[in-house]
Amino acid sequence: MTELIGSGVELMLVGMGIVFVFLAMLVVAIKTMASLVQRYFPEPPAAAVVVPVTTANKTDKATIAAISAAVHQYRSKN
């Protein structure tokens, strides 16, 4: 019984410790990453959304466009 409580207390200390260490390291990692990205891959905040989205899904967009064009063509032909 007391032993079990002891395990529980230990688990709490270790557990909260890990959680804090883990998330604190994540804070450091995010800050480092943010400064690296802003230095080496700067993106104009406004364009940031517009430009990459259009480049990234270009093929999907193109595919969809091509398919819908094909469908229209098919329908008009048949």
What DSSP line would sit under 51-68, residue for residue? Answer: HHHHHHTHHHHHHHHHHH
Q: Binding to its own copies by residue 48, rule CB under 8 A?
A: yes
Residue 35 binding partner per list another protein, its own copies, none, with a CB distance cut-off of 5 to 8 Å that depends on partner kind = none
Q: Binding to its own copies by residue 62, rule CB under 8 A?
A: yes
Binding to another protein (CB under 8 A) within 43-72 occurs at 43, 45, 47-49, 51-53, 55-62, 64, 66, 69-70, 72
Among the residue ranges 7-15, 21-29, 32-40, 70-78, the one whose residues contact its own copies (CB under 8 A): 70-78
Helices (H), the chain: 2-40, 45-56, 58-77
Distance CA 7, CA 17 (A): 15
What's the half-sphere exposure (Cβ side, CA atoms, 13 Å) at 76? 6
Q: Binding to another protein by residue 75, rule CB under 8 A?
A: no
